[in-house]
Amino acid sequence: MHPFSVNERVENIKDDEQEINRLIEEYKPFIASCVEKATGRYVRYGEDDELSIGLMAFVEAVKSYDRLKGNFLSFAHNVIRRRLIDYYRKEKKHCGTISLNGSANDGDGETELGVEESIYQYSVEEISEYRRLELEELKKELWDWGITFFELVNVSPKHERTRRAYIKIIQFLMSQSELIDTVKQKRYLPIAEIEKGTGVPRKTIERGRKYIIAVLIILTGDYQYIKDFVDWGVGE
């Protein structure tokens, strides 16, 4: 029996491939359980692609975990489900031959439960639920910064010129990891550096402070489904 909790153990083995493999062997039943809950059917190692996705997602969870993300097993469960959703999205083009419940094509182009229906179910139900949970977490995190959703509505850019200015600021900050660290550690926008790096007037930066901080929190945080849902304009 390990002297550490699973949370502590995971944080201690992130760079140790041998220990990660040992952890995987111990938690194969857990991984299979997560996959079965997501697919709604029994799965076997060596037979079902979904379990391979689950194993890779578990390793991803180990390497990206920190205690701020809560209990490791809950975090890993979420990562596994997310990667399965991604997998089914990519497999949509094969919807005539792949089925979540293992049924084969019956010859007329139909399956008992095709991937297209599965994608729809995940998209409407699972992703919606994940987004709701992410919004709850985001609300708490923004509250620590003294920012509310109501304020974000009010400070969101109303004009295209302002929107382009905010995008420019966010793109600049996202390219400067040391400035991101400054924002998160000291909890303020380095306005002088932003003004110098972007040419955006100080007053514009100050007016958009809460909006810019909120977008940075989302883009650098574990908010996958909020990122997918909103057009942030970054990368335009």
- For 164, residues 6+ apart whose C-beta sits below 8 A from its C-beta are none
Look over the chain and give the mean of its residue pLDDT values, rounded to a whole number: 79
Note the pLDDT tens digit of each residue in 155-181. Answer: 888 888 998 999 999 999 988 888 888
Q: Where is pLDDT greater, at 158 or 224?
A: 158
Instruction: Please say whether the beta carbons of 213 and 147 come within 8 A.
Output: yes
pLDDT tens per residue, range 96-147:
433 333 443 444 443 434 444 554 555 556 666 667 777 888 888 899 889 9
Q: In this structure, what token pair is assigned to residue 222?
A: 């574990």
135 Cβ neighbours under 8 A, 6+ residues apart: 226
The answer to whether 71 touches 79, Cβ cutoff 8 Å, is no
Indicate the range of 6-15, 162-171, 217-226 predicted with least confidence: 217-226
Q: If pLDDT is split at 50, 70 and 90, which confidence band does 41 have?
A: confident
Q: Return phi, psi of residue 160, to 5°.
A: -60, -35
Encoded amino acid at 195, one letter: E
